[in-house]
Amino acid sequence: MTQPTTQPPSGDAAVDLPTRYQPADVEGRLYERWVAEGRFTADPARDPGRPAYSIVIPPPNVTGSLHMGHALDHSIQDTLVRRRRMQGHEVAWIPGMDHAGIATQNVVERELAKEGLSRHDLGREAFVDRVWKWKAESGGRILGQMRRLGDSVDWSREAFTMDDDRARAVRTIFKRLFDDGLIYRAERIINWCPRCLTALSDIEVEHADRDGELVSIRYGDGDDSIVVATTRAETMLGDTAVAVHPGDERYRHLVGREIELPLTGRRIPVVADEHVDPAFGTGAVKVTPAHDPNDFEIGRRHDLPSRSVMDERGVITEPGPFQGLDRFEARPAVVAALREDGRIVKEIRPYEHSVGHCQRCRTVVEPRVSLQWFVKVAPLAQAAGDAVRDGRVAIHPPEMAARYFEWVDNMHDWCVSRQLWWGHRIPVWYGPDGETACPGPDEEPPAGWTQDTDVLDTWFSSALWPFSTLGWPADTPELKRFYPTSALVTGYDILFFWVARMMMFGLYAMDGAVPFRTIVLHGMVRDQHGKKMSKSFGNVVDPLDWIDRYGADATRFTLLRGANPGGDVPVAEEWAQGSRNFCNKLFNVARFALINGANVTGPVPAELTTVDRWVLSRLNTVIAEVDAHLDDYEFAKACETLYHFAWDEVCDWYVELAKVQLADHRAPATRRVLGEVLDKVLRLLHPVIPFVTEELWTTLTGADTLVTAAWPQADAARRDAAAEAEIESLQRLVTEVRRFRADQGLKPGQRVAAELDWAGSPLAAHEEGVRTLLRLTVPGDGFAATASLPVEGATVRLDTAGAIDVGAERRRLEKDLATARKEADQTRRKLGNEAFVAKAPEAVVAKNKDRLAQAEADIARLEHQLAALPAG
């Protein structure tokens, strides 16, 4: 741990600090120095007795750039790891990127399109080479942007989900799952993107309400007719049954019989199935097993044929008049044909309903029966749920656990194959006679056999992240020291995408050892009105823009100050400006302290003034509070506590009172206390705002770096209730007199003569400080008090004659008083009207009572101010 080693000469230290803080002059220089000196590098062999602390960054997409969500997520993680580093832990914060299969392939295909080429023109091997080239030249911008934010990650351990070590991990776990019967290939209905031409897992489909139409169609005729409703009329071409509930008396006579499917001439059966809700719609549903997941299950239960009527691009393939039409062209055409045939019973337009979209390209997803690879999740999901239920993994905030259980307890088998070329190719080979082999990572596939053409879902490889980044499947020192990782920090929006999958694979691969001990979930960053940031709304904020204008510290502080557990984080530019002002305030007070000889040399003296004892008492309370907040992941509360202590108590009160002490015999002790307070405050703030604190602390202490300085420990012996009570009394006195001065129209810096009658109050010892804070001069000859304020057991008599325009002030107060009296009279009459009180809503009556109380308080205040004015 780095400790202060030398003390700059009194009064000269501030020469090393410019008169104004410029983040751009500091941040890049400090970050590169930290990295060059290895301040963030983890060593599993270093001091085995030290506790270990590890976090893996949710790997951003190789196509991505830093956005506000990343900035929040990384600021939280950096706060955690910087604090643990200062607490003496061996910290491994591991960075890396995800290969982002669909997104990256789309990017490179768009680049090829500009050249008039497609991936098929290149062929698979050349296309993959092209993607690797793009990754080397253009991918991973976000890693450099993480440096701008100040991420204290161990860059020597940077990983990529497609690098050799991660590829070996993927092959290893696939082989193990395959041998254990937990991976299988089957024809199932899956989510299909007609744009990306690949299968999608449930979590890669985003649902949004869209306006469509609900069409009721009559199948069959006469007593053999039945009405069904659909939002996707084109799929009726692939119907192979109509289903009703077994207990629905309306259709009992039809069950087991066949009816004619309109437009096709085919006859399809009516089946009874418990899945049908007899109270919904007509109580009858069309069954299209090839184009709806619920219908697929009904089809399996009743051995119905699965009739696909679309190709992979969503084009109708069913022979007839609609063949060759896109699905969205076919929909109105089918409805028109049914209408012409007299089959339309009812049309509701617009009809709002939920529609699934591809997460990457926003294309409407099409359910489709396809031969795919699946992970059998039941035993894995059970283990993932049990790890949270039995307390091995804690979810923070705890109320988010219900959402986690809702997902893992109802998880469907995971479709892990993707019809892409960029990604981990499925390590399965097929023989000439249909044989299947899955060789391990150190085994060669059978000669002449053909490898599966699909790749694995991107989330498959990122699910291994907590242990593959530590060297698994090798038994590495890193794995022994840093697994399980200490915490996972991520947005609640990918609780299902990533967290549950890491839990399943971690427990499976690591023989029941959880991948992390705590899951810390934060919300989304929104604008100041709570609105989601969106380019279409025009409210997107680029964190790099804020870093350029206000600094990384201000950007981080703004985000963390709004980071309540699990809640969304609103941000506004004026808040970033306020955070920059806070950093400037710290810089200015540190510069003042250094100019006045603040130091960290030697122990704090035992004999101290009440003011010094008060600030040290408050400091130790704040240390304990910040520790408690950070232990509970209450980042907003920790920031608020530090902000108000540093600005309100240290800068606005202690420094002003210390100015008096620095001018007399108390100066040596006060310099040491001032140094002590700044030392501890900068340490406490360092995990949140690392750059300005490093610059100031190293100047104050002469030490090499704050990165590994010891985290402050609260000292109960420094708690001083009597000193706190005395200074709180002084603060109330000063605040009351300031309020009176403001009411009288006196400017804050305007000096006023005053007598202070302490009447034995202990605050008499602070008279010089009180006069300094209130700009009160010692009375001279001719002093005549025009106002007398009894406050905190003392009396403050002021001579405001000549300090204000008495006539103008009297006229202003009288005008305000007349307005307040008129308001009170009107409100009293209204409340005195029995009819109004009896008929008006309770909230309206209460509001009028509040208005009367406020008006009466204004009258009393204004009358008091008028009485306090000097005559004339």
Q: How far apart are CA 819 and CA 51, in angstroms?
A: 67
Q: What is the mean pLDDT of residues 624-630?
A: 98
Please check the confidence at residue 123 and state whether its pLDDT lies above 60: yes
Q: What is the mean pLDDT of residues 426-433?
A: 96
pLDDT of residue 787: 83
539 and 659 in a single domain? The answer is no
Residues annotated in a binding site for ATP: 535
Q: For residue 604, is it within any domain?
A: yes
Q: Which of 256-270, 611-625, 785-799 is most confident?
A: 611-625
The CATH number assigned to the domain holding 708 equals 1.10.730.10
Q: What is the mean pLDDT of residues 519-540?
A: 83
Q: How far apart are CA 293 and CA 189, in angstroms?
A: 6
Per residue in 86-113, pLDDT tens? 999 999 999 999 999 988 998 999 999 9
Please check the confidence at residue 11 and state whether its pLDDT lies above 60: no
246 and 105 in a single domain? The answer is no
Residue 619 — very low, low, confident or very high, per pLDDT cuts 50/70/90? Answer: very high
Residue 362 — very low, low, confident or very high, per pLDDT cuts 50/70/90? Answer: confident
Q: What is the mean pLDDT of residues 44-52?
A: 94
Which has more confidence, 694 or 782? Answer: 694
Q: What is the mean pLDDT of residues 138-148?
A: 93
Contacts of 822 (CB under 8 A, 6+ apart): none
Strands (E), 24-177: 52-56, 90-94, 96-97, 159-160
Please check the confidence at residue 188 and state whether its pLDDT lies above 70: yes
Q: What is the mean pLDDT of residues 483-489?
A: 97
Where a domain ends, among 311, 331, 366? 366
711 and 770 in a single domain? The answer is no
Residue 496 — very low, low, confident or very high, per pLDDT cuts 50/70/90? Answer: confident
Measured at the CA of 111, the angle between CA 105 and CA 114, to 5 degrees, comes to 140
Q: For residue 739, is it within any domain?
A: no
CB-based burial, 744-780: b 16+ in 10 Å, e otherwise: bbbeeeeebbbebebeebebeebeebbbebbbbeebe
Point out which residues pair with 804 in neighbouring strands: 801
539 and 579 in a single domain? The answer is no
Q: For residue 673, is it within any domain?
A: yes
φ/ψ of residue 431, rounded to 5: -85, 175
Please check the confidence at residue 602 and state whether its pLDDT lies above 80: yes
Per residue in 647-674, pLDDT tens? 999 999 999 999 999 999 999 999 999 9
pLDDT of residue 832: 92
211 and 338 in a single domain? The answer is yes
591 and 636 in a single domain? The answer is yes
pLDDT of residue 2: 45
Collapsed DSSP state (helix, strand, coil) of residue 495 = helix
Per-position DSSP letters for 393-433, written without gaps between them: SEEESGGGHHHHHHHHTTPPPEE-EES-SSS-B---EE-TT
pLDDT of residue 566: 83
**CB-based burial label for 302 (10 Å; 0-12, 13-18, 19+):** middle
**Full domain range(s) for residue 631:** 13-18+573-719
Q: Which residue has the tokens 């299209």?
A: 288
Per-residue tokens: 298 = 């009904």
Please check the confidence at residue 808 and state whether its pLDDT lies above 80: no
pLDDT of residue 872: 59
φ/ψ of residue 437, rounded to 5: -135, 140
Residue 785 — very low, low, confident or very high, per pLDDT cuts 50/70/90? Answer: confident
pLDDT of residue 7: 43
DSSP H/E element including 322: none
688 and 820 in a single domain? The answer is no
Looking at every residue in the chain, the average pLDDT score rounds to: 92
CA atoms within 13 A on the CB side of 202: 12
The count of domains in the chain is 4
Amino acid 139 reads G
Where a domain ends, among 366, 390, 409? 366
Q: What is the mean pLDDT of residues 494-523?
A: 94
pLDDT of residue 15: 52
64 and 152 in a single domain? The answer is yes
The CATH number assigned to the domain holding 507 equals 3.40.50.620
Residue 80 — very low, low, confident or very high, per pLDDT cuts 50/70/90? Answer: very high
Q: For residue 458, is it within any domain?
A: no
Question: CB of 720 within 8 A of CB of 616?
Answer: yes
Q: How far apart are CA 838 and CA 830, in angstroms?
A: 11
Q: How far apart are CA 859 and CA 851, in angstroms?
A: 12
Where a domain ends, among 543, 564, 593? 543
The CATH number assigned to the domain holding 264 equals 3.90.740.10
7-16, 230-239, 249-258, 448-457: least confidently modelled range: 7-16
Q: For residue 321, is it within any domain?
A: yes
Collapsed DSSP state (helix, strand, coil) of residue 209 = strand
Percent of the chain scoring above 90 in pLDDT? 77
pLDDT of residue 201: 77
φ/ψ of residue 420, rounded to 5: -125, 175
Q: How far apart are the first and last CA of the chain?
A: 69
Pairing of strands 183-193, 198-200: antiparallel
Point out which residues pair with 56 in neighbouring strands: 94
114-123, 718-727, 736-745: least confidently modelled range: 736-745
The CATH number assigned to the domain holding 831 equals 1.10.287.380
Q: What is the mean pLDDT of residues 737-756?
A: 90
Per residue in 296-337, pLDDT tens? 999 999 999 999 999 999 999 999 999 999 999 999 999 999
Please check the confidence at residue 40 and state whether its pLDDT lies above 80: yes
Q: For residue 416, is it within any domain?
A: no
Q: What is the mean pLDDT of residues 225-243?
A: 93
523 and 585 in a single domain? The answer is no
155 and 267 in a single domain? The answer is no
Q: For residue 414, is it within any domain?
A: no
486 and 355 in a single domain? The answer is no
pLDDT of residue 789: 86
Q: What is the mean pLDDT of residues 771-794?
A: 90
Q: For residue 425, is it within any domain?
A: no
853 and 801 in a single domain? The answer is yes
Residues annotated in a binding site: 535
Residue 351 — very low, low, confident or very high, per pLDDT cuts 50/70/90? Answer: confident
Q: How many CB atoms lie within 10 A of CB 288?
A: 28
CB-based burial, 396-429: b 16+ in 10 Å, e otherwise: bbeebbeebeebbeebebbbbbbbbbbbbbbbbb
Q: How far apart are CA 741 and CA 739, in angstroms?
A: 5
